[in-house]
Chains A and B, each alone.
Chain A
Amino acid sequence: MQNETGKSKLMWLVIDLIVLLYAFIPVFWIISLSLKDSATLNDGNYFPRSITFESYQQIFANNDFTRALINSIGICLIATFIALLLGTFAAYAVARLQFPGKKIIVGMSLMVSMFPQIALVTPLFRIETAVGIFDTWLGLIIPYITFAMPLAIYTLSAFFREIPWELEKAAKMDGATPFQAFRQVIAPLAMPGVFTTAILVFISCWNDFLFALSLTSTSAARTVPAAMSYFQGATTFEKPTGPIAAAAVVITIPIVIFVLLFQRRIVAGLTSGAVKG
């Protein structure tokens, strides 16, 4: 696209600028709000006059929030671990073995990922209340695994297809036991894919709001997204803008760190479904 005129170059520049502003104004605004003190919170200035960590101190002094943070981390880690463990077996079968009914399995797993979570909320609520796991970690881990499974299988099998499996055979010919071949040759090759999938699964659990809202009732299992919707201002008339902004920043930070550290892999994982290797 070398021979573009000055005019269309200018147009591109303007479009880029608008897109950039659109992408970043919200991000800066929430950070700015979280750093303002309560007196200047509503002054409409884009940058805080003076930076204060008041809102952060406030939410971290709030037991409901710290408890929610622990719940979020614990529930998402456990759900990710189990989904990855089961997903690895299934993805291996899908990626490496030929068997009748494979298309149906892949189709069904995609179908599940399209499923509207809202349809399962009421029955899950009823079942969990009856079984006694409503408002517990287990009560959230279970639906998270269900909805993370297809994502895990699909992304993992895309990565597994790229592994040069002949190496396994070569290692065995060189006298390695099947276990050694797996541990020393295949596992290191598979790790990046497993790791990337783990990040994607973790993010999908971390961002859930609907299940967290409807399958919990106390801070025993309420995760941060749900807990935030229960934040209250200092008085009934004061909006809890500062604490919400601070909490919103806190739940965003880990994801941003993941993205910045592992951008290439995450992008590869995200696009694996649409773009052939």
Chain B
Amino acid sequence: MGSHRMRTLRPWLLLAPTLALMAVLLAWPLGRVVWLSLQNYGLRELNRGTTNFVGFDNYVSVLTQPYLWTIVLPNTIGFAVVTVVGTVALGTLVALFLATLPVAWRYLASSAVMVAWAVPAITGTYVWVFLFDAADGLVTHALGGLGVIETGSVNWFLERWSFFGIAALNVVHHGFPFVAVTVLAGLLTVPTELYEAAVIDGAGAWRRFWSVTVPVLKPIFAVVTILSTIWDFKVFAQIFLMPGGSGTNREVFNLGVWSYIQSFAQGRYGLGAAIAVLLTLLLLGITVVYLRTLFVEEDL
């Protein structure tokens, strides 16, 4: 009897420290941010320590702003769509290439890909900014040398499209190695007989990819796509550290940066919290899809 109770209790004893920690460290701040989002909480309230409950006013204010619909949401969602497609496509391409290599070369080439993964997001962001610097960037010099543009005359960071183009190059560069090694690991588990049978049936490389590789690796593609979506929705440093991204150019904010600027630069903590809650809800939706995909696939 005692040992039976011990057996039911054991998993919870092992989980207790983690659960307790998470409850305190996550649930508490999370409760606070929701509470904050229901208040008109600015520097005055911060200094006085008073509260000023306004219900859903912050949400109404955020959701009725044309700025949200014309700038921030397109910046967040459009950017995520482009970078996810880019990351998964490039990662898959690299994986297919790696799979054709002999083992020793594959190992070497994977190392090279993993070096790109190892470059921290912050380092990557500085590099891409330096590459496209209006006066001294490598790309600017190269294009100037080719006579495409006049060096120093174009500032890529001022314009929304080129700003996000550079940000996309940066985010895809940081993200594709993960997709590449994951898809590669999957590719190596695909039975070669399937490809041989397809070859006998006269299927070309393109056809083999779509009718053998994609169906077999569907769960893997689902996981890397959803994970990339989640990461690309919440990019912060990669936008914030680009010229204009830290507050001067409102054209380039995404939900995360907008929330940060409202809270820390403008001192409108209530509004910033409301934006953060909206971003959280958006990610929660994607996560639920992710969990369903995962639990359908494997029995934990």
Would you list which residues of chain A between 198 and 219 have a CB under 8 Å from chain B? 203, 206-207, 209-210, 214
Query: Please, which residue of chain A has its CB at the minimum distance from the CB of B128?
Result: A26
Report if A207-B178 is in contact (Cβ < 8 Å); known contacts: A93-B14, A122-B36, A225-B237.
no
- A111 in contact with B284 (CB, 8 Å): yes
- A90 in contact with B14 (CB, 8 Å): yes
Would you list which residues of chain A between 29 and 83 have a CB under 8 Å from chain B? 29-30, 33, 41-44, 46
Closest beta carbon of chain A to B173's beta carbon, Å: 7
Q: Which residues of A contact B280 (CB under 8 A)?
A: 115-116, 119
Interface residue? A142 (CB, 8 A): yes
Report if A275-B185 is in contact (Cβ < 8 Å); known contacts: A3-B199, A87-B18, A263-B114.
yes
Closest beta carbon of chain B to A268's beta carbon, Å: 8
Closest beta carbon of chain A to B80's beta carbon, Å: 12
Interface residue? A27 (CB, 8 A): yes
Whole-angstrom CA separation of A267 from B288 in the bound complex: 26
Interface residue? A97 (CB, 8 A): yes
Closest beta carbon of chain A to B217's beta carbon, Å: 9
Closest beta carbon of chain B to A190's beta carbon, Å: 14
Contact with A along B15-43 (1 / 0, CB 8 A): 10111011001101110110010000000
Report if A248-B127 is in contact (Cβ < 8 Å); known contacts: A112-B22, A275-B185.
yes
Would you list which residues of chain A between 127 and 166 have a CB under 8 Å from chain B? 127, 142-143, 145-146, 149, 153
Interface residue? A8 (CB, 8 A): yes
Whole-angstrom CA separation of A172 from B297 in the bound complex: 35
Closest beta carbon of chain B to A96's beta carbon, Å: 9
Q: Which residues of B contact A33 (CB under 8 A)?
A: 130
Report if A93-B15 is in contact (Cβ < 8 Å); known contacts: A22-B173, A26-B173.
yes
Interface of A is mostly: helix
Report if A114-B182 is in contact (Cβ < 8 Å); known contacts: A89-B18, A123-B29.
no
- A270 in contact with B10 (CB, 8 Å): no
Query: Please, which residue of chain B has its CB at the minimum distance from the CB of A94?
Result: B300
- A122 in contact with B115 (CB, 8 Å): no
Contact with B along A238-277 (1 / 0, CB 8 A): 0001001100110110011011100100110011011110
Q: Which residues of A contact B115 (CB under 8 A)?
A: 23, 27, 256, 259-260
Interface residue? A170 (CB, 8 A): no
The residue from B15, B26, B195, B256 contacting A118, defined by CB atoms under 8 A apart: B256
The residue from A1, A124, A251 contacting B100, defined by CB atoms under 8 A apart: A1
Report if A123-B22 is in contact (Cβ < 8 Å); known contacts: A26-B124, A107-B291, A252-B118.
no
- B220 in contact with A274 (CB, 8 Å): yes
- A263 in contact with B141 (CB, 8 Å): no
Whole-angstrom CA separation of A43 from B137 in the bound complex: 9
Q: Which residues of B contact A143 (CB under 8 A)?
A: 25
Whole-angstrom CA separation of A146 from B135 in the bound complex: 42
- B185 in contact with A15 (CB, 8 Å): no
Contact with A along B127-157 (1 / 0, CB 8 A): 1101100011110111000000000000000
Closest beta carbon of chain A to B288's beta carbon, Å: 9
The residue from B182, B237, B269, B273 contacting A275, defined by CB atoms under 8 A apart: B182
Whole-angstrom CA separation of A33 from B123 in the bound complex: 12
Q: Which residues of A contact B127 (CB under 8 A)?
A: 26-27, 29-30, 248
Interface residue? B193 (CB, 8 A): no
Whole-angstrom CA separation of A152 from B29 in the bound complex: 21
Report if A30-B30 is in contact (Cβ < 8 Å); known contacts: A4-B205, A42-B136, A114-B286.
no
Q: Which residues of B contact A142 (CB under 8 A)?
A: 25
Q: Which residues of A contact B295 (CB under 8 A)?
A: 103, 107
- B283 in contact with A112 (CB, 8 Å): no
Interface residue? B8 (CB, 8 A): yes
Interface residue? A169 (CB, 8 A): no
Closest beta carbon of chain A to B224's beta carbon, Å: 6
The residue from A23, A27, A89, A122 contacting B33, defined by CB atoms under 8 A apart: A122
- A271 in contact with B185 (CB, 8 Å): yes
Interface residue? B259 (CB, 8 A): yes
- B111 in contact with A260 (CB, 8 Å): yes
Whole-angstrom CA separation of A267 from B223 in the bound complex: 16
- A145 in contact with B116 (CB, 8 Å): no
New A-B pairs, 9, CB < 8 Å, besides A1-B205, A274-B220: A8-B205, A92-B14, A118-B279, A119-B279, A149-B22, A248-B126, A258-B118, A259-B115, A259-B118
Return 7 A-B CB contacts under 8 Å, by A number.
A3-B199, A27-B119, A30-B123, A112-B26, A116-B279, A267-B185, A274-B185
Interface residues of B (CB under 8 A from A): 8, 10-12, 14-15, 17-19, 21-22, 25-26, 28-30, 32-33, 36, 46, 90, 93-94, 97, 100, 107, 110-124, 126-128, 130-131, 135-138, 140-142, 169, 173, 178, 181-182, 185-186, 189, 195, 199, 205, 208, 219-220, 223-224, 227, 230, 233-234, 236-237, 240-241, 256, 259-260, 263-264, 269, 272-273, 276-277, 279-280, 283-284, 286-287, 290-291, 294-295, 298, 300
9 A-B pairs closest in CB distance = A44-B141, A123-B32, A42-B136, A123-B29, A119-B276, A93-B14, A209-B237, A248-B123, A274-B223
